[in-house]
Amino acid sequence: MTSRVKEWPGHELRASDLLEGEVTVARFRPDAKYAWSAGEAMSRFLEELQRGRFIARACKGCGRVLFPPRMFCEQCFRPTDAWVHLRDTGIIETFSISYLDKDARRIPDPILVGVVSLDDASPNMGLMHYFGEMTKDEIRIGMRVKAVWRPPEERRGSVLDIAYFRPLREGDG
């Protein structure tokens, strides 16, 4: 035995009730403040970015170097073992030529974005970033690249402390 509710009890509010003062209205602007912890591994990762360095976690179980660092190895089901610094060079794993900016507005000159695999990290540990000092016709999957760091005073402990990745040149470390 079912019965449909045809009308809810009480008084249904219309927008005009609020605007015309038919009901009591209170307005307030909440002064909400949020703090959020990035966690042990990500906090250290971000601190090291501010110093212009990449850091990862090594797992003795599987021998992998986890980047970005994680305190727990999802393959071995055990805590990871040690911090390791990585060189800031790698290869382009995949990329996109985007004629939309980050606010989805059309732009005449495309931005190049994609995934970099760092030389010292294990496979399938990519970092998403921008590419620069190359054109859309020059960029290639497998291209060797190096991070271009922002000046120390501009770094904020963010992935954007790297301006972009540029092609590796002779003489790069």
* CB-nearer residue toward Zn ion: 61 or 157: 61
- 64: amino acid identity, one letter: R
- Could you say whether residue 145 binds Zn ion (CB under 5 A)? no
Four-residue CA torsion sign, 69, 73, 75, 76:
positive
- Could you say whether residue 61 binds Zn ion (CB under 5 A)? yes
Q: Give the end-to-end CA distance of the chain in Å, rounded to a whole number.
A: 78
* CB-nearer residue toward Zn ion: 50 or 122: 122
- Could you say whether residue 84 binds Zn ion (CB under 5 A)? no
Distance CA 32, CA 2 (A): 45
Judged by CB under 5 A, the stretch of 47-55, 65-73, 87-95, 153-161 that binds Zn ion is 65-73
Quickly tell me which residue has 């055990």 as its tokens: 78
Distance CA 161, CA 148 (A): 9
- Could you say whether residue 118 binds Zn ion (CB under 5 A)? no
- Could you say whether residue 157 binds Zn ion (CB under 5 A)? no
Distance CA 121, CA 139 (A): 22
- Could you say whether residue 59 binds Zn ion (CB under 5 A)? yes
- Shortest approach of Zn ion to residue 71 CB, angstroms? 12
Q: How many residues bind Zn ion (CB under 5 A)?
A: 6
CB half-sphere exposure, 155, CA atoms < 13 A: 18
- Could you say whether residue 73 binds Zn ion (CB under 5 A)? yes
* Sites of contact with Zn ion (CB under 5 A): 59, 61-62, 73, 75-76
